[in-house]
């Protein structure tokens, strides 16, 4: 009988709780998003985020237990997002996880949020086999990694400044769109005329696998200022912005496959929900004989399932402990959870 892991995600503006059992899969999961609460401020207000996590975490734990028909006594271990993220928000998940694990006398394990994203496509069917290249595109990170197994990650390239998600969010703000900007910009871009505006493709020919997106928002700002921004023009700019971000991501992902000689690409993180990005990658990588894997749409953005899953895999490597000091790591670097480096 394999272990049942309870996962708790609270690093930003989503409280995600899930139960995962190795060998059986995801038993249940629940999510509360704070998008509506933060939207009137145009972005995440950390203090409000923490307070809301406090309100949500226990009812959501009860909900997943009920849905999976599991009692707390049947839970074998608890995984929580230890970082990176907002300090106060992380503390809520960490304290809930440690208090519960202490009370139940079961192991606890802190999970790196990006490792959760990185492994989330393995929850999908079909799941990719190792090794693969991962394109990690969340709100705060844009990285290309070679993944040889759980904990076997090699950084191939990353953004030198803004993340792709940030480029979406900041450009959306300049276009007067709400938070979160990515989905709003993608929606507006649907009515835009492709090719009406051309934005720069930063670092496309840099001969490495790094990215830079900070110049893009300046270029968007210039377009916004230069043009009479009626709804159609804003849609045209949104379209150009999306095109620019996607082209860079797709071509760098292709280069990463060429560089590593691998054929499987896995896309993880919130921007991975973007339909245009998916179409472009499927086309480009399919042409080259490769395959692209994505998490289910609901597991692209933050969720508890990826934390329960990553926790279960780490626990299988005997990495759980009963040291209930909940030291969170708001600025944790993914490099620190790497077990093996490739040349
Ligand atoms: O992975 P995630 O939920 O949170 C972080 O860990 O950061 O990613 C959130 C990011 C935000 O920047 C959001 O605007 C972006 O993912 N995003 C999208 C889409 N859905 C979410 N960007 C483009 N198109 C989308 N459909
Ligand atoms: Zn995330």
Kindly give the number of the ligand 1 atom that is closest to the alpha carbon of 172. Answer: 14
- pLDDT tens, residue by residue, 102-153: 999 999 999 999 999 999 999 999 999 999 999 999 999 999 999 999 999 9
Residue-wise pLDDT for 23-38, tens only, equals 999 999 999 999 999 9
Q: How far is the CA of 197 from the centre of ligand 2 (A)?
A: 31
Please enumerate in sequence order all residues whose Cβ is within 8 A of that of 219, keeping only pairs 6 or more positions apart, or say none: 199, 200
Confidence of residue 326 (pLDDT cuts 50, 70, 90): confident
Greatest Cα-to-Cα distance within the chain, rounded to the nearest angstrom: 64
Report the pocket of ligand 1 as residue ranges, CB < 6 Å: 12, 117, 138-140, 165, 168-169, 180-183, 186, 269-271, 273-274, 301-302
Q: For 227-272, how does the pLDDT look when each residue is reduced to its tens digit (9 = 90+)?
A: 888 999 999 999 999 999 999 999 999 999 999 999 999 999 999 9
pLDDT at 97 over 90: yes
In the predicted model, is pLDDT for residue 10 greater than 70?
yes
Output the CA 213–ligand 1 centroid distance in Å.
15
> What are the phi and psi torsion angles at 295 (to 5°)?
-70, 160
Distance in Å, CA 8 to ligand 1 centroid: 19
For the chain, the structural domain boundaries read 4-118+300-339, 130-294
Least confident of 66-70, 243-247, 318-322: 318-322
The pLDDT of residue 2 is: 82
Q: Which residue puts its alpha carbon closest to atom 8 of ligand 1? A: 270
Q: How far apart are CA 227 and CA 216, in angstroms?
A: 17
Residue bearing the bigger pLDDT, 325 or 234: 234
* Residue 335 pLDDT class (50, 70, 90 cuts): confident
Measured by CA distance, the residue closest to atom 10 of ligand 1 is 139
Phi, psi (rounded to 5 degrees) for 170: -70, -40
Indicate if the pLDDT at residue 341 is higher than 50.
Answer: no
**Is residue 128 a contact partner of residue 122, using CB atoms and an 8 Å limit?**
yes
Calculate what percentage of the chain has a pLDDT beyond 70. Answer: 98
Tell me the mean pLDDT in the region 58-79.
98
Rounded mean pLDDT of 278-303?
96
Q: Which ligand is nearest to the CA of 298?
A: 1
Please report the DSSP string for 237-271 in residue order: HHHHHHHHHHHHHHHHHHHHHHHHT--EEEEESGG
φ, ψ for residue 26 (rounded to 5)?
-75, 125
Atom of ligand 1 minimally distant from the CA of 85: 6
Give the pLDDT mean for 296-312.
97
Is the preceding peptide bond at 126 cis, omega within 30 degrees of 0? yes
Q: Which homologous superfamily is 4-118+300-339 in?
A: ATPase, nucleotide binding domain (3.30.420.40)
Mean pLDDT of the chain: 95
CA distance 7 to 74: 14
Same fold, 4-118+300-339 and 130-294: yes
Q: What is the pLDDT of residues 186-216, one digit of tens each?
A: 999 999 999 999 999 999 989 999 999 999 9
Q: Is the pTM of this model over 0.85?
A: yes
Q: Which of 44, 251, 257, 264 lies closest to 139 in space, CA to CA?
A: 44
CATH 3.30.420.40 fits 130-294, yes or no: yes
Task: Identify the residue whose C-alpha is closest to ligand 1 atom 6.
Answer: 138
Place of tokens 């989905």: 183
- Measured between alpha carbons, how far is 145 from 163 in angstroms, rounded to an integer? 15
């Amino acid at each position: 009988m394999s272990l049942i892991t309870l996962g708790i995600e609270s690093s930003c503006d989503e409280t995600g709780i899930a139960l995962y059992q190795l060998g059986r899969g995801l038993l249940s999961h629940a999510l509360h998003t704070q998008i509506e609460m933060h939207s009137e401020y145009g972005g995440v207000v950390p203090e409000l985020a923490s307070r809301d996590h406090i309100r949500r975490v226990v009812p959501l734990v009860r909900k997943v237990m009920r849905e999976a028909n599991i009692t707390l006594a049947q839970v074998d271990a608890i995984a929580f997002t230890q970082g990176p993220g907002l300090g106060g928000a992380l503390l809520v998940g960490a304290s809930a996880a440690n208090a519960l694990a202490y009370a139940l006398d079961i192991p606890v394990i802190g999970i790196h949020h990006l490792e959760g994203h990185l492994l989330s496509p393995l929850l999908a069917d079909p799941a990719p086999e190792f090794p693969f290249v991962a394109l990690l595109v969340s709100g705060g990170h844009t990285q290309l990694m070679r993944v040889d197994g759980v904990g076997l990650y090699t950084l191939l390239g990353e953004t030198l400044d803004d993340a792709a998600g940030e480029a979406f969010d900041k450009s959306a703000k300049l276009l007067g769109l709400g938070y979160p900007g990515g989905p709003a910009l993608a929606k507006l871009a649907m009515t835009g005329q492709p090719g009406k505006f051309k934005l720069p493709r930063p670092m496309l020919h840099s001969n490495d696998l790094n990215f830079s997106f900070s110049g893009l928002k300046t270029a968007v700002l210039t377009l916004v200022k230069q043009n009479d921004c009626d709804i159609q023009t804003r849609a045209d700019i949104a379209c150009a912005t999306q095109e620019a971000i996607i082209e860079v991501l797709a071509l760098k992902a292709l280069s990463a496959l060429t560089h590593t000689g691998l054929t499987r690409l896995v896309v993880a993180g919130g921007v991975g929900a973007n339909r245009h990005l998916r179409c472009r990658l499927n086309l480009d990588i399919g042409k080259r004989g490769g395959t692209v894997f994505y998490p289910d749409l609901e597991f692209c953005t933050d969720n508890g399932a990826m934390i329960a899953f990553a926790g279960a895999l780490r626990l299988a490597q005997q990495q759980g402990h009963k040291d209930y000091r909940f030291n969170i790591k708001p600025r944790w670097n993914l490099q620190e959870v790497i077990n093996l480096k490739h040349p």
